[in-house]
Amino acid sequence: MESSRNFVVNGGIKMPIGYRFHPTDEELVVHYLKRKVLSLPLPASVIPEFDVFQTDPWSLPGDSKENRYFFSNSYGNESNKNGKRAAGSGYWKPIGKEKPILASGSNQVVGMRKALIYCERKSSNDTKTRWLLHQYRLVGSAAALGSSQMSKWKLFGDWLVFRVFQRKRNAKKHRASSNKSQTTSAVTMPSCIDFTVEDCSVYGPPQPSSPSSSEITEVSLNGLVEEESSDFISSYSNR
């Protein structure tokens, strides 16, 4: 059947055209990670098992332009007290603190999310990249499990789910540059308008003049005065 086809890109799963996999943190923990731990059927088989610390983020299976999700029971090798985890040609470095994931109905903590940024090792110094990693783990659910589920929890409870993605390039700088350009235009335009209004208020509305008049002001297409007669300037200063 056509619906049973596998959509694979770069060794990872790709959704059919028109579909996107964008679960919330709660959905990812409750409906995928928890069911994975308890060996229950998943809503969809869209998250493969893969150790994200085996390679660089851009070399992970799947489409690098999309958010990629992976199940893994590996926490990686922490190289020091800062929690850096070696991966490929660099390492993942934690940023900020773990954030709790709350159930929408009861506000009960069902999981925790940790954020990490990928840094490349270079001869001079380490460089941060735009690659980010979100690590999700379960918390506080074992007490509500039955005896059979408890055994599965002890066996598979170390499962994690990871989300790998890239930040947009210089989004803040682009907005700041755009706002600055708009502000400059907004300031520049009134200066031309005020100049025109000032002339009208002093000399009244423009009057038709004969071609032989020496007090002719030539104005360019953008409203800026290019030439102005000396007689006009002296008469303005005497008023």
Q: Evaluate whether 116 touches 132 at the Cβ level (below 8 Å).
A: yes
Q: 187 in a domain, yes or no?
A: no
DSSP-derived secondary structure letter, 98: -
Q: What pLDDT does residue 189 have?
A: 46
**Confidence (pTM):** 0.63
The token pair at 55 is: 């390679």
Q: What pLDDT does residue 73 have?
A: 86
Residues 58-77 have pLDDT tens digits of 999 988 888 999 999 877 66
E strands, the chain, where?
8-9, 12-13, 68-72, 85-87, 90-94, 99-102, 109-120, 127-138, 160-166, 218-219, 225-227
Q: Sort 31 into a burial class: Cβ within 10 Å, 0-12 / 13-18 / 19+.
A: middle
- Provide the b/e sequence for 182-199 (b: ≥16 CB within 10 Å): eeeeeeeeeeeeeeeeee
Q: 20 in a domain, yes or no?
A: no
Nearest to 59 by CA among 126, 10, 111, 109: 10
Q: What pLDDT does residue 133 have?
A: 97
Host domain of residue 96 = 49-166
Q: Evaluate whether 28 touches 136 at the Cβ level (below 8 Å).
A: yes
Q: 124 in a domain, yes or no?
A: yes
- Run of H or E residues at 173: helix 171-203
CATH number of domain containing 115: 2.170.150.80
Residues 150-194 have pLDDT tens digits of 555 555 458 999 999 999 887 556 566 556 556 554 444 444 444
For 94, the 3-state DSSP assignment is: strand
Q: 223 in a domain, yes or no?
A: no
Q: What pLDDT does residue 124 have?
A: 76
Q: Determine the Cα–Cα distance for residues 38 and 140; give it in Å rounded to an integer.
A: 14
> Residue for token digits 């959509």?
7
Q: 139 in a domain, yes or no?
A: yes
Question: Which spans in 34-108 are helix H?
Answer: 34-37
Q: 226 in a domain, yes or no?
A: no
Q: 56 in a domain, yes or no?
A: yes
How many domains is the chain built from? 1
Q: Determine the Cα–Cα distance for residues 174 and 205; give it in Å rounded to an integer.
A: 44
Q: Cα 17–19–23 angle (5° rounding)?
A: 155
Taking 70 as the pLDDT cut, the residues of the chain under it are: 1-14, 76-81, 140-157, 171-239
Q: 148 in a domain, yes or no?
A: yes
